Amino acid sequence: MARRDSWICCVFAVWLVILVGGCRPAGDASKAASPPTANPSASVSAKPADSDDPTALGENITKLNNEGSELFSQGQWEKAREKYAQALALNPDDENSHYNLGATLAKLGRKEDAIKHYREALRLFPDFAEVQNNLGNILASQGKYAEAVEMIQASIKNNPSSSSAYNSLGTALGLSGRITEAIPHFARAVELSPDYVEAHVNLGNAYYTQGRLEEALEKFGRALTLQPHYGPAISGMNRTRQKLSAQGSPRN
């Protein structure tokens, strides 16, 4: 139990960074991960759509999602939520709008509402990898580790090149006390994305929990090379140096 408590203390600072993968505009049939984007041609607000004109309806949904994603990228969560809700009012069966609204509700701390929209997105598109990853992260934050692990594993199956999903899986396993199982997934995350600061810190925390202090020090150092003022990496580095010093192995 002490090891698990130590892990939770170490990882939680990174947890919120990986909780939400970000939103995207509607109309991306590939379901590939992408950062929040906005269509430069989108109007400030969508025009009323003729319900008998599916092309106009789709364009309005896309505009609302683009506007919401722009607001999301600015940290204006409530305004983004309103845009995504408007998009869903036009088409309650648009999985991208459910995904975007779920991500925004998670940012607003409304986890149960986010879960509802993530599950609806998966009902509409069962292999939606980003939704599976984000839903798994929320479930893990609620202590529902078995379901979280299963959900994130499904995300990886649908998108095996997602470093975020591997980091999420490592975190869910680590929070459940399965540190040894978590480590290869963090390692895979940094292999896929060598500049993934949070994954380097998570891997360092896992090594630290197992007493692999030299390896932990290397990972915290790598994270600080990438982002010199990153708080969790600084605290991890200091904690590891103190323990090495107490063991009679001081480090620079």
CATH number of the domain enclosing 84: 1.25.40.10
Q: What pTM, to 2 d.p., does this model score? A: 0.80
Region of residue 125 (phi > 0: left; psi between -120 and 50: alpha; otherwise: beta): beta
- Which range marks the domain in which residue 171 is found? 2-246
Residue 15 is predicted with a pLDDT of 34
Residue 132 and residue 191: Cα distance in Å, rounded? 22
Q: b/e map of 167-194 (b: 16 or more CB within 10 Å)?
A: bbbbbbbbbbbbbebbbbbbbbbbebbe
In a domain, 130, yes or no: yes
In a domain, 233, yes or no: yes
How many domains does the structure of the chain reveal?
1
Residue 217 burial (CB < 10 Å; 0-12/13-18/19+)? buried
Helix, strand, coil distribution of the chain in percent, nearest 5: 70, 0, 30
CB 70 within 8 A of CB 64: no
In a domain, 251, yes or no: no
- Residue identified by tokens 């529902």 is 144
Residue 43, Cβ neighbours under 10 Å: how many? 11
CB 152 within 8 A of CB 170: no
Residue 21 is predicted with a pLDDT of 34
In a domain, 28, yes or no: yes
CB 28 within 8 A of CB 130: no
Residue 123 is predicted with a pLDDT of 97
CB 36 within 8 A of CB 72: yes
In a domain, 172, yes or no: yes
CB 202 within 8 A of CB 224: no
SS3 194: coil
In 126-195, where does DSSP find H-type helix?
Answer: 129-141, 145-158, 163-175, 179-192
- Residue 116 — very low, low, confident or very high, per pLDDT cuts 50/70/90? very high
Residue 54 is predicted with a pLDDT of 78
Mean pLDDT, range 13-19, rounded to an integer: 31
Comparing 41-45, 56-60, 233-237, the range with the smallest average pLDDT is 41-45
